[in-house]
Amino acid sequence: MMKDAVLIFARNLNFGKVKTRIAATGGNDLAFSVYNHLLKYTAFITKHLPFEKVVFYSTQIDRGDIWDDSIYQKQVQIGNDLGERMYNALFSTFKLGCSKAIIIGTDCLELTADIILNAFELLNQHETVIGPAKDGGYYLIGMKNAHDELFRDISWSTDKVLEQTIAICDQLQLSRKMLNVLSDIDDENDLRNMNKQFYLK
């Protein structure tokens, strides 16, 4: 039986194809550096977590990259939109016998290992746990079953994602626990708002 699992949704680190909103104003060099930093940070906070850890790449599996092959399982996202890709990842994970799974992205420098550990603890008492982002989305979602309704008819990449997800949880009468609101890094404004927490090497 598969242990509880952290599913990490990550873009392949390809120049000119990451952090496009940062690239639009600050150029591809900045966008690449920012995303490289975010990937390293996410690997740093997850590598010692006592759960199965699976990286779901956007296009193809990369070997010998930031995600140590001896620590992380590796798969490719499957689906036509973000919701379908997340649902498919959860469904395949639960099919392997996992009892609790949490999805995180790679855009949040305020996320910590302790927050993820706490989210798993909260799933002992609640059916879902959600980490709301300041932009109206979420940086974390966890559950004990793959509820496809939570990933259908969502206005992805808008400030409606969190609101719509909560509404569906309520319609399905799924108990939920909200974590603290954190900031994702999607554009140059987000970088500036991080102040001294972010350094480009």
pLDDT over threshold 70, residue 195? no
Give per-residue pLDDT as tens, 33-90.
999 999 999 999 999 999 999 999 999 999 889 999 999 999 999 999 999 999 999 9
Domain count, the chain: 1
pLDDT at 107: 94
Residue 13, C-beta contacts closer than 8 angstroms, at least 6 positions apart: 32, 35, 36, 39, 62, 65, 66
166-176: average pLDDT: 96
Where is pLDDT greater, at 47 or 3?
A: 47
Kindly report the backbone phi and psi dihedral angles of residue 183, in degrees, each rounded to the nearest multiple of 5, phi listed first: -105, 130
pLDDT over threshold 60, residue 13? yes
Tokens at residue 35, please?
């995303």
Confidence class for position 19, pLDDT limits 50, 70, 90: confident
CATH code of the domain in which 11 resides: 3.90.550.10
> Which range has the worst mean pLDDT, 5-9, 112-116, 139-143, 189-193?
189-193
Confidence class for position 3, pLDDT limits 50, 70, 90: confident
Task: In whole angstroms, give the CA distance from residue 72 to residue 83.
Answer: 22
pLDDT at 197: 52
Kindly report the backbone phi and psi dihedral angles of residue 186, in degrees, each rounded to the nearest multiple of 5, phi listed first: -120, -25
Cα angle: 168, vertex 173, 178; to 5 degrees: 70
169-174: average pLDDT: 96
pLDDT at 199: 45
pLDDT over threshold 60, residue 198? no
Where is pLDDT greater, at 76 or 20?
A: 76
Give per-residue pLDDT as tens, 105-119.
999 999 999 999 999
Task: In whole angstroms, give the CA distance from residue 124 to residue 107.
Answer: 26
Residue 157 — left, alpha, or beta (φ > 0 → left; ψ -120 to 50 → alpha)?
left
Its pTM stands at 0.94
Domain of 88, in residue numbers = 5-197
